[in-house]
């Protein structure tokens, strides 16, 4: 069996078959000729652009130096226009200005009549200021703005000078002027870096292109790379001229031959390198596959959710942990743009605001938010954002790490509830310790009420038996009124004590509001005095009535004060009764906070005890729980303050806590 096939067409002989190789060789030669020329042009353009950039930088440096001097003159002029300082102070200020700017040669202060009131530096020429300087003075006065004169005095060693006129006005009235003279040569020498002067010849030219200052540390310029830039001084036309000492780049004479040899060697080396590169690429691809498999297994086993987004907010990658957090499969997340299906409706505004920041290229590195799972359950999460950068260093998107913090939030809430219970227990324990004293304190107003009411009944009985005796009836009525008034006073006293105890032990959420420290101290003063009388302790309150209000929870602050005063009273049990003085003081601290101190004359605190004083469950009392000072410190830190202690110079201890001032005016 034969199989038919078409034989290849033979290649005809002719000159055209060399056309492609010849064209390639010609193209190769043209490239060899074009590349050096193009490199030379690029180098020339680069040098010119660098010269322009450096000239602009020098011009800005010179202008900045003059502007700094103008600001100093303006500050001096503002002071001189208001009040003439003493000569010594004025000369000291002028001396400081000369030290700050070496280009400053002379300062003259003229009054409103053109008379010299003070001067320093170079002496004025016999014929006074130049015509250009006088014209600048007239123009500055008419415009009320500083103005420069044209440069002058450039001769010999080329040391040109220029004057700056600053008119002085006060309350719309012309008070005189300040005239500052600058040496342009010194301005160049002081502000042009040596490396720039080494490579370029610089000159300052006036409006007629005359040189008024120059600097050429590396010799004269060659005229190949030049640039001119005006200094933009009001009233003066000074141009900064730069001429590089570098010449045009040259081509190597044997560049073509060398290029061919180098290219041939490069071709062989490239072939060898290509073979090695292919071998390394295959090995790298195998290693990459292994790494990808390892990374995929690692990401699939993570409990931390991973999410990648591009610069437009489109989701490009999610791992299984993220899908479990939001309760959605990957196909419902990849390629999605905001709004996302896992955004909770109540936090939509927060999501949109944060997404706008992402689009602007400023993502929040770490934040807490809430996601909504597909079943509607809210999941609190902690999100970490980091930029995604490709192999070329380009920012391509954002990578997010998401942690489910449901358990942490639940633990924080449990801890908060436990802390509230502990504070309530501490308050109940405090009231338990003073219950007997409280009963005695309430017994007094109740006994007084009983006595006053019995007396009132007796007065009424006498009035019934006295008949119509008008004078005695009026006397009994007065006694009855006083008895009832005293009974009412004692009843209010007992009620106030009961209300104080009720407010102190009532369970409530912490609530920060504007309170006054004097009112807080007055609110617990009865309870403190009750404890103090039982231990024969005198109470001294030194709280200024005009103390600024603070932003605090009143009950928590009362609890802190009761704990600290009770500890202070117990610390003075072993000293003589006449020294048992408890002092409550308050003042403004250096940091602008309100500082409240509880001061006793007791036994003090030993160094080994001070280290653990605020530790939970540490107590120096046999029956103490060790939670009082720990709760006090927690309550003060909740308000953004600090609780500290120090030794009392007269013996004893000073406990001090600070609270932030409130911005609101009303005081509770």
pLDDT, one tens digit per residue, over 228-243 is 988 888 988 899 999 8
In contact, 184 and 149? CB cutoff 8 Å: no
What is the predicted pLDDT for the residue at 160? 85
Distances (CA, A) of 640 to 420, 421, 627, 658: 18, 21, 20, 8
Euclidean distance between CA atoms 365 and 462, whole angstroms: 87
When pLDDT is cut at 50, 70 and 90, the band that residue 8 belongs to is very low
Euclidean distance between CA atoms 606 and 541, whole angstroms: 27
CATH class of 510-668: alpha beta
Angle at 184 between CA 178 and CA 188, to 5 degrees: 130
Q: CB-based contacts of 194: which residues, under 8 Å, 6+ apart? A: 217
Question: Per residue in 162-218, pLDDT tens?
Answer: 999 999 998 888 899 999 999 988 888 888 888 888 888 889 998 888 888 888 887
What is the predicted pLDDT for the residue at 574? 85
What is the predicted pLDDT for the residue at 268? 58
Which of 155-159, 366-370, 571-575 shows the lowest per-residue confidence on average (mean pLDDT)? 155-159
Euclidean distance between CA atoms 4 and 179, whole angstroms: 108
When pLDDT is cut at 50, 70 and 90, the band that residue 13 belongs to is very low
Question: Per residue in 248-277, pLDDT tens?
Answer: 766 554 455 456 557 756 665 776 677 688
Fold exhibited by the domain 63-188: Beta-Lactamase (3.30.450)
Options 3.30.450.20, 2.170.150.70, 2.60.410.10, 3.40.50.11540; CATH for 304-404 is 3.30.450.20
The whole-number average pLDDT for the span 381-394 is: 84
Q: CB-based contacts of 139: which residues, under 8 Å, 6+ apart? A: 147, 235
Does the global pTM surpass 0.75?
no
SS (H, E, C) 552-597: ECHHHHHHHHHHHHHHHHHHCCCCCHHHCEEEEEEEECCCCCEEEE
Question: Per residue in 605-627, pLDDT tens?
Answer: 877 777 767 665 445 554 444 44
The full set of domain ranges for the chain reads 63-188, 259-301, 304-404, 406-509, 510-668
Euclidean distance between CA atoms 303 and 407, whole angstroms: 14
Cα 160 versus chain centre, distance: 48
CATH topology of 63-188 equal to that of 304-404?
yes
What is the predicted pLDDT for the residue at 500? 52
């Amino acid at each position: 069996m034969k199989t038919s096939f078409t034989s290849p067409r033979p290649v005809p002989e002719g000159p055209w078959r060399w056309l492609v190789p010849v064209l390639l060789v010609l193209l190769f030669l043209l490239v060899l000729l074009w590349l050096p020329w193009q490199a030379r042009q690029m180098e020339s353009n680069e040098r010119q652009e660098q010269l322009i950039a450096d000239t602009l930088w020098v011009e800005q440096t010179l202008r900045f130096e003059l502007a700094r001097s103008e600001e100093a003159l303006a500050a001096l002029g503002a002071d001189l226009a208001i009040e003439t300082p003493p000569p010594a102070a004025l000369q000291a200020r002028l001396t400081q200005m000369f030290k700050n700017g070496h280009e400053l040669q002379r300062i003259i202060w003229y009054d409103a009549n053109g008379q010299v009131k003070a001067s320093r530096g170079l002496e004025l020429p016999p014929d006074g200021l130049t015509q250009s300087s006088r014209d600048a003075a007239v123009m500055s006065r008419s415009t009320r703005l500083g103005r420069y004169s044209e440069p002058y005095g450039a001769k010999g060693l080329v040391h040109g000078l220029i004057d700056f006129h600053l008119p002085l006005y006060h309350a719309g009235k012309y008070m005189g002027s300040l005239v500052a003279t600058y040496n342009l040569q010194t301005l160049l020498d002081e502000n042009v870096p040596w490396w720039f002067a080494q490579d370029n010849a610089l000159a300052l030219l006036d409006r007629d292109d005359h040189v008024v200052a120059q600097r050429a540390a590396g010799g004269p310029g060659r005229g190949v790379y030049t640039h001119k830039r005006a200094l933009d001084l009001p009233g003066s036309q000074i141009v900064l001229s730069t001429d590089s000492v570098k010449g045009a780049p040259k081509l190597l004479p044997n560049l073509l031959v060398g290029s061919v040899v180098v290219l041939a060697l490069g071709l062989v080396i490239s072939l060898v390198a290509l073979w090695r590169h292919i071998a390394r690429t295959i090995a790298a691809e195998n290693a990459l596959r292994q790494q990808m498999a390892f990374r995929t297994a690692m990401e699939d086993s993570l409990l931390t959710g991973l999410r990648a987004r591009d610069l437009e907010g489109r989701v490009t990658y999610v791992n299984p942990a993220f899908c479990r957090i939001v309760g959605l499969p990957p196909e419902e997340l990849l390629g999605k743009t905001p709004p996302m299906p896992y955004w909770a409706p109540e936090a939509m505004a927060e999501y949109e605001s944060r997404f706008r920041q992402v689009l602007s290229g400023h993502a929040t590195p770490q934040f807490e938010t809430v996601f909504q799972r597909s079943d509607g359950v809210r999941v609190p999460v902690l999100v970490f954002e980091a930029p995604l950068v490709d192999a070329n260093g380009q920012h391509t998107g954002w990578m997010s790490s998401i942690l489910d913090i449901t358990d942490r939030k639940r633990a924080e809430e449990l801890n908060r509830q436990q802390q509230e219970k502990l504070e309530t227990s501490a308050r109940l324990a405090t009231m338990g310790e003073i219950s007997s004293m409280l009963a005695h304190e309430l017994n007094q107003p109740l006994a007084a009420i009983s006595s006053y009411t019995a007396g009132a009944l007796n007065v009424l009985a006498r009035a019934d038996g006295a008949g119509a005796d008008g004078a005695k009836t009026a006397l009994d009525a007065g006694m009855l009124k006083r008895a009832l008034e005293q009974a009412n006073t004692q009843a209010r006293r007992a009620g106030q004590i009961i209300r104080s105890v009720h407010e102190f032990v009532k369970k409530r959420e912490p609530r920060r509001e504007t309170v006054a420290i004097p009112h807080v101290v007055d609110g617990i003063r009865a309870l403190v005095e009750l404890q103090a009388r039982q231990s024969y302790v005198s109470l001294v309150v030194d709280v200024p009535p005009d103390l600024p209000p603070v932003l605090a929870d009143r009950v928590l602050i009362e609890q802190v004060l009761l704990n600290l005063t009770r500890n202070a009273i117990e610390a003075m049990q072993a000293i003589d009764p006449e020294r048992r003085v408890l002092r409550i003081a308050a003042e403004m601290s250096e940091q602008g906070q309100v500082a409240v101190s509880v001061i006793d004359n007791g036994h003090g605190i030993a160094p080994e005890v001070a280290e653990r004083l605020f530790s939970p469950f540490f107590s120096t009392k046999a029956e103490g729980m060790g939670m009082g000072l720990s709760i006090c410190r927690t309550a003060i830190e909740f308000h953004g303050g600090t609780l500290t202690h120090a030794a009392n110079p007269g013996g004893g201890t000073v406990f001090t806590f600070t609270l932030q001032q409130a911005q609101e005016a009303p005081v509770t």
